[in-house]
Amino acid sequence: MDNLAILLLSLLLDAVLGEVKNSLHPVAWLGKLISLQLKFSPQKGIVSQFIFGIIIVLATSVVITVPLYCLLLYLHSFNALLYILLSAYVLKATFSVRGLWQSVNAVKTHIAEGDIDSARTTVRALVSRNTATLDSRQVISASIESCAENTCDSFVAPLFYFAIFGLPGALVYRIINTFDSMIGYHGQWEYIGKFSARVDDLANFIPARISALLIIVASGIIRKNIKNAWQTTQQYHTATESPNAGWTMSAMAGSLGIQLEKPEHYRLGHNSRELTCALISESQEVLLLTASIWTVLIVTKEVICLVAT
């Protein structure tokens, strides 16, 4: 009963409130903690940097998850309602649909107003690429790519691990994913972030494929091109360096009948429609329906578990 209540309340918080201010957001606190840890990272030596990366990911996961969960369990022993409220707040911090929708919508608004500079600045928070020289078509592509990929990272995956391991599972996933988003790429932190990148790949292996399937199903429900979504996913899911991102982005590209491109890295899908702001809106529709389907499935699972016990 507690897990179902926590899940439903966290979903309600996301739908009604969206993202809280960074000063109150646990993931923002985590980002500051990671930045602090990086100040002590080895400046030279691939092996020492790699080991340091392993230590900070594992230590952070344990130091945050174990005491917090023990505290919540202790709270449960004398105030079940407060336990549910705080647990729902923590779970809500591990996922976001409304926040993702709003971020993508902000890019769409700037493009519609012809403010390409603001659009580039806004989309920078959504993708790991240099956005300073992107044209409007490339900015639209980046926002749709983010909408697709973050369907997994920001919603499907956290609730997947909540459904299996409870709140600790969702917390550990969010910690790993935050490390990956901050340091799990080529560049300054490449070897320090290599462990978090590989663990994130592993953690998203199943959720990414579930997310792609959900996007394909959603595209059929809202009368997008479900056949093309399936075929494009099969053809292009290996085109990205990430073993997971290609699944959701290819599914979205096929669903909308467009080509998504990260310059000098990949092209996904067929260029059968011009990239416009209207297509960002269509990707948002797919996002919301995909999230709705996954919500029904996860809530149903919790209800079944409740009835079975």
The alpha carbon of residue 227 and the mean position of all alpha carbons in its chain are separated, in whole angstroms, by 25
Rounded CA separation 187/62 (Å): 27
Backbone angles phi, psi at 268, to 5 degrees: -120, 125
Q: What is the pLDDT of residues 278-307, one digit of tens each?
A: 999 999 999 999 999 999 999 999 999 888
Mean pLDDT, 10 residues at a time, the chain of 309 residues: 92 89 86 92 89 95 94 89 94 94 92 90 82 87 93 96 96 95 79 92 97 96 90 94 94 94 87 87 95 96 86
- Residue extents of the structural domains in the chain: 2-308
pLDDT in tens, 174-185: 999 999 988 877
Dihedral angle computed from the Cα positions of residues 111, 113, 117 and 122, in that order, rounded to the nearest 10 degrees: -60
pLDDT of residue 228: 92
Q: What pTM does this model have?
A: 0.94
Per residue in 198-239, pLDDT tens?
A: 999 999 999 999 999 999 999 999 988 899 999 999 999 999
